[in-house]
Amino acid sequence: MNQDTATMLANRRFKGMVGEPLTEKPQDFSSAWVLQQQVAQTYCQLAQTHIGGWKCVLPTKSTTMLAPLFENTVYDLSSSCSLFETPNEPMALVEPEIVTVFDRDLPVKDQAYTEQEIDNAIGSTRLALELMQSRYQNPDEVSYFEAFSDGLLNQGVYLGPEVNIDLSLEAMSQFQLSIKTHDGDIILDKVVTHPNNHPRVAVYWLVNFLREREIGIKAGMKVITGSYAGIVKVPYDAPVNFTYGELGSMTVTFTRKGNG
- Could you report the per-residue pLDDT of 189-217, keeping only the tens digit for each? 999 999 999 999 999 999 999 999 999 99
The per-residue pLDDT for 199 is 93
Per DSSP, helices labelled H in 68-161 are 115-120, 144-149
Element (H, E) at 40: helix 29-47
| Percent of the chain topping pLDDT 70 | 99
The per-residue pLDDT for 122 is 97
Instruction: Name every residue whose Cβ is closer than 8 Å to that of residue 38 and which is 6 or more positions away in sequence.
Output: 1, 3, 5, 6
pLDDT band at 260 (very low <50, low <70, confident <90, very high): low
User: What is the Cα–Cα distance from 8 to 30, expressed in whole angstroms?
Assistant: 20
Instruction: Output the average pLDDT for the chain.
Output: 96
Q: Please give the CATH topology (third level) of the domain spanning 3-257.
A: Fumarylacetoacetate hydrolase; domain 2 (3.90.850)
